[in-house]
Amino acid sequence: MTRSNRRDFLRVAAGTAGAAALNLFPPVIRDALAIPANRRTGTIRDIEHIVILMQENRSFDHYFGTLRGVRGFGDPRPLRLANGKSVFHQPVGPAEVLPFHPGADKLGLQFLQDLPHGWQDMHAAWNKGRYDQWVPNKGTTTMAYLKRDDIPFHYQLADAFTICDAYHCAIPSSTDPNRYYMWTGYVGNDGAGGGPVLGNEEKGYGWTTYPEVLEQAGVSWKIYQDVGTGLDANGSWGWTQNPYIGNYGDNSLLYFNQYRTALPGTPLYDKARTGTNISAGGTLFDVLQQDVKNGTLPQVSWICAPEAYSEHPNWPANYGAWYIEQVLQTLVSNPDVWSKTALFITYDENDGFFDHVPPPFAPQSRDNGLSTVATTNEAFPGDASHMAGPYGLGPRVPMLVVSPWTK
At 304-333, the pLDDT tens digits run 999 999 999 999 999 999 999 999 999 999
- pLDDT tens readout for residues 113-164: 899 999 999 999 999 999 999 999 999 999 999 999 999 999 999 999 999 9
Cα 405 from Cα 128, distance rounded (Å): 39
Q: Please, what are the domains in the chain? A: 1-34 (no CATH), 41-402 (3.40.720)
Quick one: pLDDT band at residue 363, thresholds 50, 70, 90?
confident
Residues 6+ apart with CB under 8 A from 184: 207, 208, 209, 210
Quick check: 102 pLDDT over 50?
yes
Residues 6+ apart with CB under 8 A from 384: none
pLDDT value of position 371 = 77
Over residues 58-79, mean pLDDT: 98
Cα 78 from Cα 58, distance rounded (Å): 20
- pLDDT tens readout for residues 6-16: 454 445 344 44
Residue 181 burial by CB count (10 A; 0-12/13-18/19+): exposed, middle or buried?
buried
Over residues 73-85, mean pLDDT: 96
pLDDT value of position 22 = 65
Cα 374 from Cα 349, distance rounded (Å): 26
Q: What is the DSSP letter of 308?
A: G
Over residues 253-259, mean pLDDT: 98
pTM of the predicted structure, to 2 decimals: 0.93
Cα 209 from Cα 258, distance rounded (Å): 10
Mean pLDDT of the chain: 93
DSSP string, 217-256: HT--EEEE-B-TT-SSGGGGGG--SSTTSS-TT--GGGGB
Quick check: 173 pLDDT over 90?
yes
Q: What is the DSSP letter of 300?
A: E
**Helix residue ranges, H only, 42-151:** 60-64, 119-126, 134-138
Residue % of the chain over a pLDDT of 90:
87
Over residues 178-187, mean pLDDT: 97
**Helix residue ranges, H only, 106-252:** 119-126, 134-138, 152-160, 175-184, 210-217
Quick one: pLDDT band at residue 94, thresholds 50, 70, 90?
very high
pLDDT value of position 376 = 86
Over residues 100-118, mean pLDDT: 91
Over residues 210-232, mean pLDDT: 98
pLDDT value of position 364 = 72
